[in-house]
Amino acid sequence: MRYDSITEAIGGTPLVRIDPAVHGLRHIDLYAKLEMLNPFGSLKDRAAWNMTRDRLAGAAERGETVVELSSGNTAKALALISGLHGLPFKSVTNRMRIPEVKELLLLLGAEIEELPGRSECLDPADEDDPLTLFHRQLNLPGSAHLHTDQYFNALNTEAHAAGTGPEIIADLDGRAPDWFVACVGTAGSSTGVARALRAHDPAVRVIGLVGEKSDFIPGIRTIDEVQEVGIFDPATYDTLEPVTSDEAIEGMLTLLRRCGLLAGPTGGAAYFGAVRHLRELDAGLTERRTAVFIVCDRVESYVGYIRRRRPDLLGLPPVRNSVATLTEAEVASAAVIGVDEARAWIGERHPLVVDLRGPFAYAALHIEGSVNIVDELFDELVRGGLPFGRSRPVLLACPVGEKSARYAALLTRMGHPDVRSLAGGIIAWRDAGAPLVRD
């Protein structure tokens, strides 16, 4: 294989059958589409190249910077494509949650701009979200940017409708699979592949996988977050099913240890979600059927992510004081108070108010007198024991009140006598018109 440019090596990834002795399905052949074998390391190589290829020459002439709102694989592919064409690349995000990816992006020459925002995904209806404002500025005429706009760009979906989907059909000897299973981030890959497969055979069933609410699987969105994506259309999916980070890691371990596939967590989530969905159906089948799932990227960048969730896999002692160990009953019994009650309580008892959001969101607007301990750091702090004395009450606040409720439950279990969580988080506080200050 000889190429004039590395971009010619994008696509044409292998479709590999998973050993039935591993997945246990008796009538279904299960295949993995190995998108992590794209040259920049993930399925986003296709979207990044399709969104830029016709615009790079013009952008170079005008001296533009390539910009994308991404903290992961799209940014990585765009950084490499930009460097290859002599253009600067800037990644804008509200939080780089995987330090290895942030460091890699810097190594690739990317500029990283972290802005506050409710989530990395955009909500065009939210006028106050700095990411939304930034997004709007990028699209104004005269902006010196080549903005690839992956959450709204049809070329993202198109890359998979023209490439990934037809490749699957060709590798299955001209037939579409009976089921197609994919994790949903921007929704570009699942929507594009689904379109190509259904054009070939409308009977294909499409299973989209999203992260369980208030859980985090890097690269994919929860059911709430995905609604904010411009190219997401719920009609694409016959079913949308949640996957937890534990399930994603369990699926990933099977791919790593039994299948010879160096898959990352979303590959594991797709495998886990596929087998879970197909197991029941398999029992009623008499004829052979076929299913395909996507392995998006490789495992190496996620070792830190795995260390925090499953230290046992790395030979480390288990973490006792972690929200991951809470039972649903513990979470449900956390003390949660609304904005009015919280304001009265602050006035009377002067609790320590801890804001768990990122530093940029905190700097933009926060409750007066609160301290900022970003949730990842808070997670580390509580591992070593109670981070505050027992005598002062504590009010925890996060963007929407979900994480803070879990931490309130954890601190209560660790013996703090009066920890409360702000219901609805800083968003509810803001919506109630309660005062917020800026740094």
Ligand X SMILES: Cc1ncc(COP(=O)(O)O)c(C=O)c1O
Tell me the per-residue interface mask from 21 to 60 with ligand X, x by CB under 6 A, - otherwise: -----------------------x----------------
| Residues 67, 72, 77: CA angle, nearest 5 degrees | 60
**131 binds ligand X per the rule CB under 6 A:** no
Closest residue by Cα to residue 97 from 381, 375, 409, 425: 375
Tell me the per-residue interface mask from 407 to 426 with ligand X, x by CB under 6 A, - otherwise: --------------------
The nearest distance, CB 218 to ligand X, in angstroms, is: 6
d(CA 82, CA 148): 12
d(CA 241, CA 165): 21
What are the structure tokens assigned to 131, written together?
Answer: 């990411």
**148 binds ligand X per the rule CB under 6 A:** no
294 phi/psi in degrees, rounded to 5: -105, 135
Task: Give Cα 275 to chain centroid, integer Å.
Answer: 21
Q: Which residue is nearest to ligand X (CB)?
A: 219
The nearest distance, CB 363 to ligand X, in angstroms, is: 27
**211 binds ligand X per the rule CB under 6 A:** no
The 205-211 sheet, strands edge to edge: 15-17, 28-34, 289-295, 179-183, 205-211, 239-243
- Interface residue with ligand X, options 185, 251, 351, 358 (CB under 6 A): 185
The nearest distance, CB 196 to ligand X, in angstroms, is: 14
**273 binds ligand X per the rule CB under 6 A:** no
When the beta carbons of 188 and 273 are compared against ligand X, the nearer one is 188
**219 binds ligand X per the rule CB under 6 A:** yes
What are the structure tokens assigned to 144, written together?
Answer: 């010196």
Number of residues that bind ligand X (CB under 6 A): 18
d(CA 22, CA 18): 7
**207 binds ligand X per the rule CB under 6 A:** no
d(CA 209, CA 206): 10
When the beta carbons of 74 and 245 are compared against ligand X, the nearer one is 74
**264 binds ligand X per the rule CB under 6 A:** yes
What are the structure tokens assigned to 227, written together?
Answer: 């609604």
Interacting residues toward ligand X by CB under 6 A: 44, 72-74, 183-190, 219-220, 264, 266, 296-297
